[in-house]
């Protein structure tokens, strides 16, 4: 069995898609007759599409039949996909390419571990597919983060043990999922928010090769 494995969340770690999710949820909220703010959108990070809609409807005090609920899920996603359609490599967050290619140069297996059901088209749009040995996304899981399922499946597919994995995450639920999987958790974002992470960086520009070497040494 190989030793170290590195797992990346997608939204907020590799690409900043939160802004597109926000526009699509806001459009739906407005159609349903209420406002949805950027601050409220923060609650949606790392959260499944279905759960997001439940929270949105709670915010607006809207009750839905199953049929309406499912239709709004489709509507929101179609709108989101219209933004994804226009994405390209310029939307990759700073230094993500550097980190991915450094890990590849060290022969480290890499997986995606995302709640999104749109992960594969997004990776294709930004031309990062080739870095990933395996992709585990919202289509493969039955339990949402903070459940560790997504990361445990990723470890299994990489052929590495959970405690030999490192996870990069921007969401609190994602950090909890990594910790619940007994993996090393690296928060990408605000240190005041990602308090449960083993390490936190504002973004990848702050993460140098010597830190990556130390991480590899830690889990190898
Ligand atoms: C997560 C995002 O990665 O994926 C959430 O942080 C989003 O905001 C979730 O709701 C599901 O995404 P999708 O693409 O399946 O609607
Ligand atoms: Mg995320």
Query: Closest ligand 1 atom to the C-alpha of 170?
Result: 6
**Domain ranges in the chain with CATH number 3.40.50.1000:** 5-15+93-219
Site residues for ligand 1, CB cut-off 6 Å? 10-12, 21, 44-49, 52, 77, 114-118, 138, 171
If one residue of 49, 74, 170, 171 were mutated to test the ligand 1 pocket, choosing by the most ligand atoms within 8 A of its CB, it would be 49
Query: Closest ligand 1 atom to the C-alpha of 117?
Result: 15
pLDDT of residue 102: 98
The superfamily (CATH) of domain 5-15+93-219 is HAD superfamily/HAD-like (3.40.50.1000)
Q: Point out the ligand nearest to the CA of residue 144.
A: 1
pLDDT of residue 219: 94
pLDDT of residue 83: 97
9 assigned to active site: yes
Q: In the CATH hierarchy, which fold is given to the domain comprising 18-84?
A: DNA polymerase; domain 1 (1.10.150)
**Domain ranges in the chain with CATH number 1.10.150.240:** 18-84
pLDDT tens track of the chain, all 220 residues?
569 999 999 999 999 999 999 999 999 999 999 999 999 998 999 999 999 999 999 999 999 999 999 999 999 999 999 999 999 999 999 999 999 999 999 999 999 999 999 999 999 999 999 999 999 999 999 999 999 999 999 999 999 999 999 999 999 999 999 999 999 999 999 999 999 999 999 999 999 999 999 999 999 8
pLDDT of residue 2: 65
Neighbour count for residue 207 (Cβ, 10 Å): 20
130 assigned to active site: no
pLDDT of residue 1: 56
């Amino acid at each position: 069995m190989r030793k170290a494995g590195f797992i990346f969340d997608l939204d907020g770690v590799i690409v900043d898609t939160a802004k597109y999710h926000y526009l699509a949820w806001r459009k739906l909220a407005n159609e349903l007759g209420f406002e949805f703010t950027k601050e409220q959108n923060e609650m949606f990070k790392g959260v499944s599409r279905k759960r997001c809609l439940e929270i949105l409807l709670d915010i607006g005090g809207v009750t839905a039949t199953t049929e309406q609920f499912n239709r709004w899920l489709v509507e929101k996603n179609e709108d989101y996909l219209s933004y994804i359609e226009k994405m390209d490599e310029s939307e990759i967050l700073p230094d993500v390419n550097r980190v991915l290619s450094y890990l590849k140069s060290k022969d480290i297996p890499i997986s995606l571990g995302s709640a999104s059901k749109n992960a594969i088209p997004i990776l294709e749009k930004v031309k990062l597919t080739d870095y990933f040995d395996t992709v585990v996304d919202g289509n493969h899981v039955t339990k949402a983060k903070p459940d560790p399922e997504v990361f445990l499946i990723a470890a299994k597919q990489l052929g590495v043990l959970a405690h030999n994995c490192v996870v990069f995450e921007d969401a609190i639920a994602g950090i909890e999922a990594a910790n619940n999987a007994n993996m090393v958790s690296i928060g990408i974002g605000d240190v005041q928010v990602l308090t449960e992470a083993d390490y936190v960086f504002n973004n990848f520009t702050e993460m140098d090769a010597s830190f990556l070497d130390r991480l590899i040494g830690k889990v190898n």
